[in-house]
Structure 1
Amino acid sequence: MTIIDEDRDARLAEAVALRTAGEPEQARQLLVVLSAEFPADAEVAYQTAWVHDVLGLEVEAVPFYERALAGQGLSGDDKRGALLGYGSTLRGLGRYPEAVEVFRRGIVEFPEDNALRTFCAMALYNVGEHHDAMRTLLEVLAATSSDPGIQRYRRAIEHYATDLDAVE
């Protein structure tokens, strides 16, 4: 590792620590500088997007998410987080079709991630795909709920999730 890499790593760690300690504006200032110095660094871009989201600066977060997801080097957890954050940001900005596309990409890469599936369901609702939204939510509910009533009727919920219009 070179001195430049060590410096980048230390500054990135400092920014992440500031964000997690409740100092997002200070973290943002460090990350914007790092992003300018390392424009192709996916990890720096992701952390920069994240801190903009934390501050409610969704519009500013978008290009950083795009850089993060276009680059290489994100860990699996960071890529999952970037897809969730980017899709959620797009949805929050009213860019629903794009959000659905991002969430679907995330679900292909991380099919077991129920947060991605749940946020996708919300975006599906926003684009008028109510059947798919409801199906997704029912599948997640049946698979993850520890509620005794849900578990008692899990098979029925899973069955109806595939065809809500089914008549027995």
Structure 2
Amino acid sequence: MGDQNEAVLAQAVRLREEGSARARERLVDLADRHPQDAAVAYQAAWAHDSAELEAEAVPFYERALGGTGLSAEDRHGAYLGLGSTYRVLGRYDESLTTLRRALDEFPEDAALLTFLAMALYNVGESRQAVRTLLKVVVATSGDARVREYRRAIGYYADNLDETQ
């Protein structure tokens, strides 16, 4: 993409950040003109997601993740966006597959694990969902009391049914 198109992309991203509906139009136009550009596809997906047009966001997320050139941060965002969007659309198996693939690239990422836990809950894997969330709490909580019991919470995350 040339300098002029990069300027158009930057302007469209600013519009998206401001919540303008024009951003989506501009990003779709850019994506049509540059179908191989993963960064444009990602921004178009994000604009659709922000407008609560989840089903329309999916092909853009898929195109972004199928391409090359996304920064690690944008790739993470595309995985999270697609996994979350699949879940919202009731496409739970695709959500789980996407989020697990993301965790292969971004192991132990708390945001990905949290969305994975939601998808696990949606497919009836409540025990695994709770386990996953407890491990996220143990790893990320700044709460003094949670930190005090971090070891016990971590243990019981793996042994939820244990009693004495």
Band the TM-score falls in, shorter-chain normalisation: over 0.9
Aligned counterpart, 2:74: 78
CA distance in 2, matches of 1:37, 1:7: 13
Q: Deviations over 1:82-122 (max 9, x none)?
A: 00000111100011111011111111111132001001000
Moved over 3 A (4+): none
User: Of 9, 12, 16, which residue of structure 1 is paired with 2:13?
Assistant: 16
Q: Deviations over 1:49-106 (max 9, x none)?
A: 0000000110100100110011111100000000000011110001111101111111
CA distance in 1, matches of 2:5, 2:132: 41
Q: Which amino acid aligns with 1:46?
A: Y
SS across alignment from 1:128: coil
CA distance in 2, matches of 1:32, 1:11: 12
Q: How does 1:7-86 map to 2 (within 5 A)?
A: 7-23=4-20, 25-86=21-82
The answer to whether residue 141 in structure 2 is matched with residue 141 in structure 1 is no
Q: Percent identity?
A: 57
CA distance in 2, matches of 1:150, 1:119: 21
Q: Deviations over 1:20-54 (max 9, x none)?
A: 1221x111111011000001111000000000000
SS across alignment from 1:90: helix
Aligned counterpart, 1:105: 101
Using structure 1 for the length normalisation, give the TM-score: 0.94
CA distance in 1, matches of 2:5, 2:114: 35
Q: Which amino acid aligns with 1:143?
A: A
| Pairwise CA distance, 1:166 | 2.3
**How many residue pairs were aligned?**
164
| Pairwise CA distance, 1:151 | 1.1
Q: 5+ unaligned residues in a row in structure 1: which ranges? A: none
CA distance in 2, matches of 1:163, 1:98: 28
CA distance in 1, matches of 2:100, 2:140: 20
Q: 5+ unaligned residues in a row in structure 2: which ranges? A: none
Kindly report the root-mean-square deviation, in angstroms, between the aligned alpha carbons of the 2 structures. Answer: 1.0
Using structure 2 for the length normalisation, give the TM-score: 0.96
